[in-house]
């Protein structure tokens, strides 16, 4: 079950970073939905490496092919398999890592768990694994948009010490987000973030960041009451993205310092349905959507693989200096992780939508 997520809308991903291909199966997508490869390609292009000065030099077109589940541009209700070939594979780049586990990377735990390592900079532990998530997420996104008018938009709200809080949660669009290569819709903050990334890159270092995600037009009543709260499912999904170390919804960690009288959202009638004046709940109460926008923040650690020399131990415990000269890595993962966060949000919401119909 390790490579599947979702109950009624269920995805399974596969593929090593430097293997033959990478992809996914989406099972449970309703029939008769309009769906073409272009719907998926758009999000894959936003995740694709080699987009600009800020990211890895690996060059992949990441062209998706739908193998099953659609006919004449419509879904059949059967599983949708999607495939992306790996082209720019360079497993030999990783030979220098054969004896030294990269600090804060998965090399050591994979070898402990499986007794074998893909010769490929992480295999499944590579961020390239997220290709399957983004492809599947694009299907979920299309279903949600066409069926419920749900709009999911994520953006970079923090890089290192640079924060951006000037975003209108009710209006921001993906096109706003894409107006800067760092995927921050606020131009001033975006400039500072780019400077920050360039600076750490020139030091052969990396930097962490935060992605904020808003989901508008989520009907009230999605989510299950106890263990499958919508907040729990979204949190679990986001924390499964490589490099994610934190998740919060609504007022999040900030709520811990608040009084109830400061944090509660009062009810008010809005366009004939009950809504809330404020949205500290982040669109979720008791684990169930309340009709307000779902708002969450996802914290990414800095990329573990850095070019700077690192003084660490090899598998035998000998103290060594690790110099990673090859391999291609982003100095900051958050710009390319934006569509991944959107994908995970869409997959969870599509699943909750289908479960709510039961």
Scan residues 152-191 and list those touching its own copies (CB under 8 A). 158, 160-161
Q: How far is the CB of 1 from its own copies (least distance, A)?
A: 6
Question: Residues 6 or more apart from 152 whose CB is under 8 A from it?
Answer: 141, 144, 213, 214, 215, 216, 342, 345, 346, 349
What b-and-e string marks burial along 209-220, b requiring 16 or more CB atoms within 10 Å of the CB? bbbbbbbbebee
For residue 100 the two structure tokens come to: 């030294």
- Asked if 106 is part of the footprint of its own copies (rule: CB under 8 A), the reply reads yes
Q: How far is the CB of 213 from its own copies (least distance, A)?
A: 14
Cα Rg, the chain, nearest whole Å: 21
- Asked if 119 is part of the footprint of its own copies (rule: CB under 8 A), the reply reads yes
Are 158 and 332 a contacting pair, CB within 8 Å? no
Q: How far is the CB of 153 from its own copies (least distance, A)?
A: 20
Could you say which residues in the range 126-155 bind its own copies, by CB under 8 A? 129
Q: How far is the CB of 60 from its own copies (least distance, A)?
A: 16
Q: How far is the CB of 50 from its own copies (least distance, A)?
A: 21
Could you say which residues in the range 327-346 bind its own copies, by CB under 8 A? none
Are 35 and 139 a contacting pair, CB within 8 Å? yes
Per-residue CA distances from 173 to 13, 42, 179 (Å): 28, 15, 10
Q: What does the per-residue mask of binding to its own copies show for 250-289, with x meaning CB under 8 A?
A: xxxx-xxxxxxxxxxxxxxx----x-x---xxx--xxxxx
Q: Among residues 63, 89, 108, 293, which is the contact residue for its own copies, using CB under 8 A?
A: 108
C-alpha span between 44 and 23 (Å, rounded): 11
Q: How far is the CB of 329 from its own copies (least distance, A)?
A: 9
Are 262 and 270 a contacting pair, CB within 8 Å? no
Q: How far is the CB of 152 from its own copies (least distance, A)?
A: 19
- Asked if 225 is part of the footprint of its own copies (rule: CB under 8 A), the reply reads yes
The helix (run of H) or strand (run of E) holding residue 162 is: strand 162-163
Are 238 and 338 a contacting pair, CB within 8 Å? no
- Asked if 121 is part of the footprint of its own copies (rule: CB under 8 A), the reply reads no
Measuring CA to CA, which residue among 321, 304, 303, 325 is closest to residue 312? 321
Binding window for its own copies (CB under 8 A); candidates: 48-56, 136-144, 167-175, 303-311: 303-311
C-alpha span between 315 and 317 (Å, rounded): 5
Alpha helices (runs of H) in 48-173, residue ranges in sequence order: 107-114, 130-148
Binding window for its own copies (CB under 8 A); candidates: 38-46, 50-58, 164-172, 242-250: 242-250
Considering CB under 8 A, how many residues would be counted as binding its own copies?
147
For residue 34 the two structure tokens come to: 């309009």
Q: Among residues 195, 240, 323, 326, which is the contact residue for its own copies, using CB under 8 A?
A: 240
Residue 204 is classified by DSSP as: T
Q: Among residues 249, 295, 341, 349, which is the contact residue for its own copies, using CB under 8 A?
A: 249
- Asked if 323 is part of the footprint of its own copies (rule: CB under 8 A), the reply reads no
Could you say which residues in the range 73-92 bind its own copies, by CB under 8 A? 74, 76-81, 83
Could you say which residues in the range 15-74 bind its own copies, by CB under 8 A? 15-16, 19-23, 25, 27-28, 31-32, 65-69, 71, 74
Closer residue to its own copies (CB): 181 or 275: 275
Q: Which position has the token pair 């998740």? A: 247
């Amino acid at each position: 079950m390790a490579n599947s997520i979702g109950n009624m809308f269920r995805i399974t991903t596969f593929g090593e970073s430097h293997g033959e291909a990478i992809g996914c199966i989406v099972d449970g997508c309703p029939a008769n939905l309009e769906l073409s490869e272009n719907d998926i390609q758009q999000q894959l292009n936003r995740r694709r490496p080699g987009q600009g000065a800020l990211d890895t030099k690996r060059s992949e077109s990441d062209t998706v092919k739908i193998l099953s589940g659609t006919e004449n541009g419509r879904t059949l209700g059967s599983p949708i398999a999607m495939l992306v070939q790996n082209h720019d594979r360079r497993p030999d780049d990783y030979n220098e890592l054969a004896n030294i586990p990269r600090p804060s990377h998965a090399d050591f735990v994979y070898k402990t768990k499986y007794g074998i390592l893909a010769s490929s900079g992480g295999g499944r532990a590579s961020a390239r694994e997220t290709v399957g998530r983004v492809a599947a997420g694009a299907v979920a996104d299309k279903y949600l948009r066409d069926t419920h008018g749900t709009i999911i938009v994520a953006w970079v709200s923090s890089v290192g010490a640079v924060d951006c809080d000037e975003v209108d949660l009710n209006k921001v669009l993906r096109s706003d987000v894409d107006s800067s290569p760092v995927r921050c819709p606020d131009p001033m903050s975006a400039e500072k973030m780019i400077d920050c990334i360039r600076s750490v890159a020139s030091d052969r270092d990396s930097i962490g960041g935060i992605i904020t995600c808003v989901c508008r037009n989520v009907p009230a009543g999605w989510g299950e009451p106890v263990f499958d709260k919508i907040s729990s499912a979204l949190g679990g999904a986001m924390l499964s993205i490589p490099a994610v170390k934190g998740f919060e919804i609504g007022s999040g960690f900030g709520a811990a310092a608040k009084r109830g009288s400061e944090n509660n959202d009062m009810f008010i009638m809005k366009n004939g349905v009950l809504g809330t004046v404020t949205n500290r709940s982040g669109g979720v109460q008791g684990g169930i959507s309340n009709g307000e926008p779902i708002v969450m923040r996802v914290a990414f650690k800095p990329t573990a693989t850095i070019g700077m020399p690192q003084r660490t131990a090899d598998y035998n415990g000998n103290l060594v200096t690790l110099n990673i000269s090859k391999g291609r890595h982003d100095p900051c993962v958050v710009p390319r992780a934006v569509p991944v966060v959107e994908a995970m949000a869409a997959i969870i919401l599509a699943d909750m939508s289908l479960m709510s119909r039961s």
